[in-house]
Structure 1
Amino acid sequence: MPEFIDDATFGTYFETFEHTAWRLETRRGYASDREGPNWARWQAGEDVSHDAPRAWSENVRRQTAAGKRFERIRIVDDPPTEGQRFLLARATNNEASGEDIRHLWRADAGRLRLPAVDFWLFDDRRALILHFDDADEYLGAELVEDPAKIAEFCRIRDASWPRAIRRRDLAGQVASRA
């Protein structure tokens, strides 16, 4: 079992990075989404695209105002899972805070040989690998600073980012396939 950092330490990485916080999301769903209040609202057909400001979005705003970047790629199945459709509906909230969220079809991720691992990459120097159980419950984050592993995460980012599409483009593709 990997050694996990504590939650307070986890949060500091999003405040102290110098230029880029980049995330790869590979799961088909996250238990934290299903357990949150917006899930039931979304399933009832309500618009969940905007929230009142919260700590995460306020920090993203501060960091991006300072010229830093928050970027994510979300791997999406065809057709998207319920969890992926929920994240697509919620993405405008993150984007309004300053995140650049893009999507990559799982088949394209397979052709790029992307691993099935969720991680944050900070400034091309350190990463947090996010661990989940089979029920999509978050277990903890493992700090990685090994240069070879960081180089692999940079390769993953560099291979996938130019091929990923913006939320509005993915939404159009999903709607045209329905």
Structure 2
Amino acid sequence: MPQRKQQPSFKELLSTAKYSAVHLEMRDSYAVDYEESGFAAWKAGHRLNPDDRGSWWRPWCDVASQAVARGIAMRRARIVSEPVSEYIKFEHSETFTNVAAGEQVRWLPRRQASDLALPGNDFWVFDDHLVRFHIFNGDGGDEGEELTEDPDVIRLCRHAFNSVWARGIPHEEYKV
């Protein structure tokens, strides 16, 4: 049986980016291991302290900050149902860390995305030449990544992201 080729990590992909990394998230909840304890703490009333950068989501903030310092434009757009889920409230409350790391973030209510052509999975596009799809199961669990350099798929993802971005509400203005 042939061995599956090891996918490069997100950090490796971002480290090779030359000018941009854009991310589109389209789920109302995620159940990924690395957020489990943070989400549970948030539900119990814990909130991140904006003045305690060392306590934020690591190593993500460091990786993003380093990329932005190299000149990479990092943008993230999230399509969300309203009223928002408890998970989206959690995500929104901690997004100030993404912004502090240098990401630009926008939110788009799902009802405003009905006429947009969107891929079936969340994705990152690096430098308009590589797409990394993030596959989740029905419960929001991580099922892995798929990479493609197919020009038609890249065009679809770029167009989808740009359409969502153009309609999206900047993080600082979006209220949950």
TM-score (norm 2): 0.87
Q: 2:147 is matched with which residue: 143, 147, 153? A: 143
The one-letter amino acid of 1:24's match is L
- Give the fraction of aligned pairs with identical amino acids, expressed as a percent: 32
Stretch deviating more after TM superposition (106-115 or 90-99): 106-115
The one-letter amino acid of 2:99's match is E
Q: How many residues align?
A: 170
Q: What residue in structure 2 maps to residue 168 of structure 1?
A: 172
Change in Cα spacing, 1:49 to 1:152, as seen in structure 2 (3 Å) is: farther
Q: Output the CA distance in 2 between the equivalents of 1:121 and 1:4.
A: 22
TM-score (norm 1): 0.86
Q: 1:82 is matched with which residue: 75, 78, 86? A: 86
Q: What residue in structure 1 maps to residue 135 of structure 2?
A: 131
User: Does the CA contact (< 8 Å) of 1:15 and 1:63 recur in 2?
Assistant: yes
Aligned residues: CA RMSD: 2.2
Change in Cα spacing, 1:7 to 1:91, as seen in structure 2 (3 Å) is: farther
Unaligned runs of at least 5 residues, structure 2: none
How much does 1:135 deviate?
A: 1.0
Stretch deviating more after TM superposition (35-44 or 50-59): 50-59
How does 1:7-22 map onto structure 2 within 5 Å?
A: 8-22=8-22
How much does 1:112 deviate?
A: 2.1
How much does 1:85 deviate?
A: 1.0
Unaligned runs of at least 5 residues, structure 1: none
How does 1:45-60 map onto structure 2 within 5 Å?
A: 45-48=45-48, 50=50, 52=54, 54-60=58-64
Q: Output the CA distance in 2 between the equivalents of 1:80 and 1:74.
A: 12
Q: Output the CA distance in 1 between the equivalents of 2:6 and 2:80.
A: 29
How much does 1:45 deviate?
A: 1.9
How much does 1:158 deviate?
A: 2.0
How much does 1:86 deviate?
A: 1.0
Change in Cα spacing, 1:8 to 1:151, as seen in structure 2 (3 Å) is: closer
